[in-house]
Amino acid sequence: MKLLRSLFIVTIIALFGSSVYAQNLLENKSGIGPRFGYYKAPDAEDGTMFFGVQSRFRGKIFGGELAFEYRGEQDYTVSGGELSVRQIPVTASLMAYVPVAPNFQPYGVAGLGAYYTITDYDGNFINSDTETQVNVGYHLGFGLDLPISNAAALNIDYRYLYLDGDNENLPEKEYSGNAITGGLTFYF
């Protein structure tokens, strides 16, 4: 039992000791790369996959991200029929990193975005044409950077998107929802 406790204490000291001296492989670098993910609004019948591009900027503790995505259709059933909603978001985020280890870098993320929303109507609606609008939203979440070299990193994060649409055909429906994103950034 003492051996197990000693081994546990040595492991904890090694982990925390390495975090004090952890050199951030990506510090003061910028990069660009692809991103993909899954998004689901609570009132949508199904979620949707999305893809896009991200540009990230890293400091020692703080970083930033600009992203452009295309989100496929989410269907909503309402009393007049069905609606299909697609989105093209452009977002900017601020990230705060916790320097745990060189190859394990968790972060918190918060940001704003403009969401170009395309709504297609199917059913007995007064306006059955395709409607487009731009909505503003914000997001909060957390994630993890996994550097694979001093020039590339994988990232995965969870974000909750707060987005209010002003569509009169969806008075009780929400565009807000959960997004899980993965990406690969090449730094230079």
pTM for this predicted structure: 0.80
pLDDT digits (tens, 9 = 90+) for 85-143: 899 999 999 999 998 888 889 999 999 999 999 988 776 666 667 888 899 999 999 99
Strand ranges, E, within the chain = 29-40, 48-58, 62-78, 81-97, 105-123, 131-147, 152-163, 177-187
Model pLDDT, residue 164: 75
Measured CA to CA, the distance from residue 134 to residue 119 in angstroms comes to 11
Q: Strand, helix or coil at 45?
A: coil
Model pLDDT, residue 15: 47
- Could you give the C-alpha distances from 34 to 1, 50, 152, in angstroms and in order? 48, 11, 12
- Could you give the C-alpha distances from 138 to 43, 104, 107, 171, in angstroms and in order? 18, 26, 17, 20
pLDDT band at 165 (very low <50, low <70, confident <90, very high): low
| Residue 2 DSSP code | H
Q: What is the set of domains in the chain, with CATH numbers?
A: 2-187 (2.40.160.20)
